[in-house]
């Protein structure tokens, strides 16, 4: 990781891939990841960790399921923060596209428990190093 300041606008301008998180830096045992998103992600959960979202630009909806029937959607605008509690099934989406920042334990797969059911437009990964 760099020991120099990282400008998030510059970092976001360095890639175009959607739903493909880039690791900006690390804090203790956590990755600070950024991603460009558009359309729907996959329903998934993280059994062992909460997931922190900060919308840097655009709008993000996070659909949440409690069990298989009770569903609600949280709408986030630029500057909004939301934490999905561990074990909660959720599906981020953005109709017009957004840029987001996430905190996750290093090594956490972005698609959580849905390793075999990932559509082609989504990169299932633990994050990629930020180029440049």
Min mean pLDDT across 19-28, 40-49, 66-75 is at 66-75
Which pLDDT does position 131 carry in this prediction?
76
Q: What's the mean pLDDT in 77-101?
A: 97
Per-residue model confidence as pLDDT tens digits over 109-129? 887 776 666 777 777 878 888
Tell whether pTM > 0.75: yes
| Domain-wise residue ranges, the chain | 8-114
Question: Which pLDDT does position 70 carry in this prediction?
Answer: 82
At 116 the pLDDT is 67
Tokens of 38: 């558009």
Mean pLDDT for the chain overall: 91
Q: Which fold has domain 8-114?
A: Jelly Rolls (2.60.120)
């Amino acid at each position: 990781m760099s020991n120099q300041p990282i400008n998030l606008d510059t970092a976001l301008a360095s890639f175009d891939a959607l739903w493909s998180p880039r690791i900006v830096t690390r804090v203790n045992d956590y990755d600070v990841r950024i991603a460009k998103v558009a359309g729907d992600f996959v329903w998934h959960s993280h059994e062992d960790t909460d997931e922190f979202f900060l919308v840097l630009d655009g709008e993000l909806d996070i659909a949440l399921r409690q069990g298989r029937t009770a569903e609600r959607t949280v709408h986030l605008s630029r500057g909004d923060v939301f934490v999905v509690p561990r074990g909660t099934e959720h599906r981020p989406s953005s109709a017009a596209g957004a840029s987001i920042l996430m905190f996750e334990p290093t090594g956490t797969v972005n698609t959580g428990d849905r390793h075999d059911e990932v559509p082609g437009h989504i990169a299932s990964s633990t994050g990629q190093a930020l180029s440049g």
